[in-house]
């Protein structure tokens, strides 16, 4: 060490950090550019002039094909329409299922998901969510004739639900010995109950009520008292798309402020609707 000329040591220690710094700056620059490109879906949507929104098409009254007009309509569709309008672009709806909606969002097949999707901590690891725009809870539907009045009576019995749903997971926690038959959509899960292949069906109360209403014999079915869980719905957004998430949240807050969000609720769940439900929530910042 002592033999080395002091200048050399000085030169090395100066040059090395400099080269490192340049390289680091280059890497940071590339990362920033890549990040910006990925996090600019809002700009892409605006340039494209259309937003692709994943929606359900067999879940009344959220997203379903209206008899006669054959148009896709529902609570979620009204929100999708309002979001597209708020972003100043056209709406393109893309049918998704409970199991496909998150992968399709991650792969960029859709820009947003408005599809009866609960904002859960587990899903937050995969995607981002908007503010809550609907609140419901999970319940259990049985045939009256079954005599089942309590979830505990489902021990060892078969219950239908949908693959990839919170409903499927929650019921396993509530009744650990239950056998869950997971279908790809809710009409199929309901058919299993109607045909006696399962003793109960479980998912969000609103979905169950709408299916019961559409059945040929609604009076044959009954909802068990009590909730399995609370299910706040959020709009799914790819992780890191903060500009898009902020823009969506701005539209949601505007809809609440103008009263349009309540109007959408009233259209599907108001006193004159087929499914009257109290609106016991508001779209609020931070929720
Ligand atoms: N809200 C529940 C969920 O996100 C059930 C409804 C659905 O499958 O979309 O899993």
What is the signed CA dihedral for 103, 107, 110, 114, rounded to 10 degrees?
Answer: 30
Q: Is 97 in the pocket of ligand 1 (CB under 6 A)?
A: no
User: Given a cut of 50, is residue 190 above it in pLDDT?
Assistant: yes
Is pTM beyond 0.85 here? yes
Q: What share of the chain is helix, strand, coil (3-state, %, to 5)?
A: 45, 25, 30
pLDDT 10s digits, 8-53:
333 434 444 555 555 655 555 554 444 444 559 999 999 999 999 9
φ and ψ of 210, to 5 deg = -65, -40
φ and ψ of 118, to 5 deg = -70, 135
Q: Is 203 in the pocket of ligand 1 (CB under 6 A)?
A: yes
Distance CA 186, CA 201 (A): 9
CB atoms within 10 A of CB 147: 8
Q: Is 168 in the pocket of ligand 1 (CB under 6 A)?
A: no
Q: What is the mean pLDDT of residues 51-76?
A: 97
pLDDT value of position 91: 98
Cis check for the bond before 61: say yes or no (omega within 30 of 0). yes
Q: What is the mean pLDDT of residues 91-97?
A: 98
pLDDT value of position 34: 47
Mean pLDDT computed over every residue of the chain: 90
| Percent of the chain whose pLDDT exceeds 70 | 86
State how far the alpha carbon of 108 is from the alpha carbons of 55, 94, 150, 220, 241, in Å: 14, 12, 42, 43, 12
CB atoms within 10 A of CB 89: 17
pLDDT value of position 72: 98
pLDDT 10s digits, 118-175:
999 999 999 999 999 999 999 999 999 999 999 999 999 999 999 999 999 999 999 9
**Ligand 1 centroid from CA 119, angstroms:** 9
Residue 93, both tokens:
């709806």
Distance CA 274, CA 60 (A): 11
Residue pair 70/157 in contact by the 8 Å Cβ criterion: no
Q: Is 98 in the pocket of ligand 1 (CB under 6 A)?
A: yes
pLDDT value of position 39: 55
Q: Is 199 in the pocket of ligand 1 (CB under 6 A)?
A: no
Distance CA 171, CA 179 (A): 9
**Ligand 1 centroid from CA 69, angstroms:** 26
Q: Is 162 in the pocket of ligand 1 (CB under 6 A)?
A: yes
User: Given a cut of 80, is residue 245 above it in pLDDT?
Assistant: yes
pLDDT value of position 287: 86
User: Given a cut of 60, is residue 92 above it in pLDDT?
Assistant: yes
Within the chain, where are the H helices? 6-38, 41-48, 75-87, 101-106, 121-124, 166-174, 186-194, 205-214, 242-258, 260-269
- Tokens 């609370």, residue? 230
């Amino acid at each position: 060490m002592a033999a080395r000329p002091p200048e050399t040591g000085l030169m090395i220690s100066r040059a090395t950090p400099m080269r490192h710094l340049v390289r680091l700056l280059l890497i940071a620059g590339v990362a920033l550019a890549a990040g910006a490109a990925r996090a600019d879906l809002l700009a892409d949507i605006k340039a494209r002039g259309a937003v692709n929104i994943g929606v359900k098409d067999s879940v009344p009254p959220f997203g379903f094909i209206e008899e006669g007009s054959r148009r896709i309509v529902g609570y979620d569709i009204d929100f999708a329409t309002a979001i597209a309008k708020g972003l100043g672009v056209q709406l393109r709806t893309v049918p998704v299922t409970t199991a496909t909606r998150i992968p399709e969002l991650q792969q960029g097949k859709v820009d947003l998901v408005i599809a009866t999707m609960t904002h859960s901590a587990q899903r937050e690891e995969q995607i981002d969510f908007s503010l809550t725009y609907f609140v419901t809870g999970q319940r259990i539907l049985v045939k009256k004739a079954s005599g089942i009045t309590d979830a505990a009576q489902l021990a060892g019995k078969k219950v239908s639900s949908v693959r990839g749903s919170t409903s499927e997971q929650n019921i396993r926690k509530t009744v650990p010995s239950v056998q869950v038959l997971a279908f790809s959509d809710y009409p199929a899960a309901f058919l299993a109950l109607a045909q006696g292949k399962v003793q109960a069906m479980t998912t969000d109360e609103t979905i169950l009520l709408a299916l019961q209403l559409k059945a040929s014999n609604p009076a044959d079915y009954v909802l068990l008292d009590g909730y399995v869980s609370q299910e706040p719905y959020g709009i799914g957004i790819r992780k890191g798309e903060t500009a898009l998430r902020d823009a969506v949240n701005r539209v949601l807050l505007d809809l609440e402020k103008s009263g349009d969000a309540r109007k959408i609720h009233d259209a599907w769940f108001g006193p004159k609707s087929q499914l009257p439900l109290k609106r016991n929530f508001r779209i609020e910042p931070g929720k």
